[in-house]
Amino acid sequence: MAKKIYGIIGDPIEHSLSPAMHNAAFDAIGLDAVYLAFRVPQHEVGDAIKGAKSLGILGLNVTIPLKEKALAFVATEEVATKIGAINTIEFCSGTPVGYNTDGLGSLKVLKETVGNINGKTVLILGAGGAAKAIAYYLDTAGATVTIANRTKERATLLVSNLRNANAISLAAAELKDSIKDSDILINTTSVSMHPNEDATLVTADLMHPELVVFDIVYNPMETKLLREAKKAGVKRIIDGVMMLVYQGAASFKIWTNREPPIGVMEKAVRAALSRDF
């Protein structure tokens, strides 16, 4: 029987630890499969998805900046349609079907750290595919969401699909006022992602100690935003590792219909990060 093939598409893609995570998971459950990383420019995402289907690839993850563009080339399950972005594709049924597990992953991480999300005030940096997914799940869970984006019009468009949300720009004055009234700050942008470790949209002087600061970037594990949070005396800081693990575990179950070995997946990611840095 031929080896099963899965993978991830994005641009850039060399930073991704999804191959290490999923290949460790396949080994742990004894599945004869391999997970590969493919660099795909934005204008070629449709060709990449069609090519993956033709080649017999059984599942793909989709990362920055393809999560919204890929939506046009797959059938989508209901939640992904509402979000307007996908991060997972399965090909088992013949027609590529898109899912979004980003929101599930982030909500699980936050519930483990914060507890009940209902009534919390959350500021999300960015308005791309990951922001859409996280905002959708937080809004559904009863949080009040603010989207801050360089292009305020894009943020306004995102919040128009939510029940209890508003939009601001990334101007320092607007950020300061919003953070002051926020319980949780989440970075969904690629700012501070390897190799730009010294970049951040929010500095320590804008934070308060009771803020929960969550950066979904996992490479590096301690981003500039999280270092600034420590400087500000923030008590609860969340790196991006467990969101990567939880969203990956949800994708794994969609593709294989097997329970994902979450502990193995987390260990593989943290081991890869410790080797890289």
DSSP-assigned states of every residue in 197-213:
TT--SS-GGG--TT-EE
What is the C-alpha to C-alpha distance for residues 143 and 200, in angstroms, rounded to an integer? 25
Q: Which residues pair with 99 in a beta bridge?
A: 88
Output phi, psi for 17, to 5 deg. Answer: -105, 10
Output phi, psi for 273, to 5 deg. Answer: -65, -40
R_g over Cα of the chain? 18
With left for phi above 0 and alpha for psi between -120 and 50, is residue 126 left, alpha or beta? left
What is the C-alpha to C-alpha distance for residues 139 and 97, in angstroms, rounded to an integer? 25
DSSP-assigned states of every residue in 12-43:
S-TT--HHHHHHHHHHHHT--EEEEEEE--GG
3-state secondary structure of 65: coil
Output the CA–CA distances (angstroms, integers) from residue 186 to 137, 155, 255, in the order listed: 13, 14, 28
One of 4, 53, 67, 231 is an active-site residue; which one?
A: 67
Nearest to 77 by CA among 248, 258, 250: 250
Q: Is 67 a catalytic residue?
A: yes
Q: State which H helix or E strand residue 247 sits in.
A: helix 241-256
Q: How do beta strands 88-90 and 97-99 pair?
A: antiparallel
**Active-site positions?**
67
